[in-house]
Amino acid sequence: MRLTPDHASDHTNRSWHVPLLTALVVTGLLRGFVLVWVGGAWRSDGPLALDRDAYRAIAVNLIERNAFSRTSPNRPAESTAFRPPLYPYLLSVLCTGRQVDNLTVAILHWLLGLGTVAASFGLARAWHLSPWPAAAAAMLVGIDPLLLNQSTLVMTETLATFLAASCGLALSTTARRPSVGRHALAGLLLGMAVLCRPTFLIWVAFITCVSLARSEPWKPRLVRTATLLAG
């Protein structure tokens, strides 16, 4: 049976659903296992209970005293620039009690891991990989041993990886179909990435130079670059 253009388009649009779902299910199950059995999502003695970089302490201070501080509760809060703000603020918002419990961190990291897989799949598709190779690439990101290990720790790597993949997808989409809205979204994601890990600043500088060097009239080029930076 020959497909009409509309039917062919529908078939093409559906062809990526199964590969993406497969990647999400495989990585979701593996990451869930790692977070529960290795990270200790329901235990008080697992890696998720540790606070090596004081992100949990900062989040607790934000919850209890509305202060970006890593001092203990029995001492006056002293503001600190010891860590970037996005991750501890996110922890403080998600924890409804007065403590950052392991299960909340595990669920957050699990969802960020799935988001990273989805963004990696979208990025691979934007670079013209067919659905199943794109799913394989996304799964390789999702089951990377270093990223799996970092997901069991109260650290920024899981959030930073999600933002990096999302930035890549947003920038690839913007490069193919430039618009003020897409530049604003890419800029917002880049700004969040910088607030998560300041090392992303070098990429902001590089992307700004690339945006200014695009072969298009100077006025829309400046407007879109300014929108990117404003984000």
No. of helices (H) and no. of strands (E), the chain: 11, 0
Total residue length of the chain: 231
- 27, 127: one domain: yes
- 102, 198: one domain: no
Burial group, residue 58, by CB count within 10 angstroms (0-12, 13-18, 19+): buried
- 181, 130: one domain: no
124 or 45, which is more confident: 124
pLDDT class for 65, splitting at 50, 70, 90?
confident
The secondary structure of residue 36, as a DSSP letter, is I
Residue 166 resides in a domain: no
What is the arithmetic mean of pLDDT over 19-44? Answer: 95
Q: Helix axis angle, 131-142 relative to 102-126, nearest 10°?
A: 150
CB-side neighbour CA atoms (13 Å) of 231:
24
pLDDT class for 219, splitting at 50, 70, 90?
confident
- Using an 8 Å Cβ cutoff, are 125 and 20 in contact? no
- Pick from 166, 38, 170, 53: nearest CA to 112: 166
- Is the pLDDT at 4 greater than 80, yes or no? no
Provide CB contacts within 8 A for 46, sequence distance 6+: 38, 39, 40, 102, 152
What is the arithmetic mean of pLDDT over 208-229? Answer: 81
pLDDT of residue 129: 95
- 223, 115: one domain: no
- Mean pLDDT rounded to a whole number for the chain: 89
71 or 4, which is more confident: 71
Q: pTM for the whole thing?
A: 0.88
- 80, 127: one domain: yes
- Give the rounded distance of the alpha carbon of 139 from its chain centre: 15
pLDDT of residue 14: 61
pLDDT of residue 45: 86
Q: Is the dihedral of CA 94, 96, 101, 104 positive or negative?
A: negative
Looking at the DSSP assignment, which residues form a beta bridge with residue 79? Answer: 69
pLDDT class for 164, splitting at 50, 70, 90?
very high
Q: pLDDT tens across 102-130, in order? A: 999 999 999 999 999 999 999 999 999 99
Backbone angles phi, psi at 39, to 5 degrees: -70, -25
3-state secondary structure at position 68: coil
- 123, 226: one domain: no
What is the arithmetic mean of pLDDT over 56-80? Answer: 83
63 or 135, which is more confident: 135
pLDDT of residue 1: 43
Last residue of a domain, one of 155, 190, 220: 155
What is the arithmetic mean of pLDDT over 69-89? Answer: 82
Backbone angles phi, psi at 121, to 5 degrees: -60, -45
Residue 160 resides in a domain: no
pLDDT of residue 231: 66
Residue 171 resides in a domain: no
What is the arithmetic mean of pLDDT over 189-211? Answer: 93
- Pick from 170, 159, 162, 179: nearest CA to 207: 170
pLDDT class for 93, splitting at 50, 70, 90?
very high
Residue 54 resides in a domain: yes
Domain extent, residue 40, equals 5-155
3-state secondary structure at position 16: coil
Query: Could you tell me the two tokens for 64?
Result: 């209890």
Q: pLDDT tens across 9-28, in order? A: 444 556 889 999 999 999 99
Looking at the DSSP assignment, which residues form a beta bridge with residue 69? Answer: 79
Backbone angles phi, psi at 74, to 5 degrees: -85, 10
Residue 164 resides in a domain: no
- 116, 20: one domain: yes
Q: How many domains does the chain have?
A: 2
pLDDT of residue 218: 77
